[in-house]
Amino acid sequence: MAENNQDLQRQINEINEKLDQVLHHVNEQRLQRESMNDLADDLYRVGKDAFQSTVDELDKRDIEVNIDDLKNLSLRMLRNVESFNQMLDTFESLVDLSRDAGPVINEMGVDVIHKLHEMEQKGYMDFLREASRIFDNIVSHYSAEEVRQLADNIVTITDTLKNMSDPSMLQAMNQTVNAYKQTSAEKIPEYSLWKTFKEMRSPEMKQGMGFMITFLKNLSRQQQSSTNT
């Protein structure tokens, strides 16, 4: 009999413990539901105030909002959620790239600064500043049409400069300049017609006349070849 009473008491105690747990759980659910209701009320009031403030601000600025447009915009945003996610993934990748490339870019910037300082010490910057005056003179002295013609004939000009840079051509030009300087510095004598004929019989004059005749023949052939092409 005593044992039966003990078993019954133990079962009652277990039932009481379970009831306590159920009541505790029900109480937690009630408190959670009340918290959610309070949160919903707060959000409703905040949303209502924010909406009213937005409406008042739009009304002050004389801006009309079409509800249908907002609805369409919301639907488009929902349809493009995946695109937004891809855009965010791309942005995150760019952020990671900038974070990884930051030290490299910083090092490159330091190298560029050092190189510019070195060029400044060697006088490159002064040279570039003075060289810019060449372009200023070109712009101020030549029209756009003249510059266009220069661009159209740049190949011919380049070929001419290339030929002039030939050592034999440079030597001939140097000899011509030296001869001109020497002639202009000397006192030029007067030649009579007889003395001129006499000087033309000298080897130097014969060689000079041969050079001029040969030069004129070659020039004529170059002009004819250019005309034919």
The pLDDT assigned to 195 comes to: 78
Taking Cα atoms as reference points, which of 172, 153, 150 lies closest to residue 163?
172
Which secondary structure element, helix H or strand E, spans residue 115, and what is its range?
A: helix 81-122
Burial letters 168-186, b for 16+ CB under 10 A, else e = eeeeeeeeeeeeeeeeeee
Residue 202 contacts residue 209 (beta carbons within 8 Å): no
Q: Is the four-CA dihedral 140, 142, 144, 147 of positive or negative sign?
A: negative
The pLDDT averaged over each successive group of 10 residues in the chain (229 residues) is 68 79 82 80 78 73 70 78 84 82 79 82 80 79 80 82 80 81 70 78 82 82 72
Non-local CB neighbours of 173 within 8 Å, separated by 6+ positions = 164
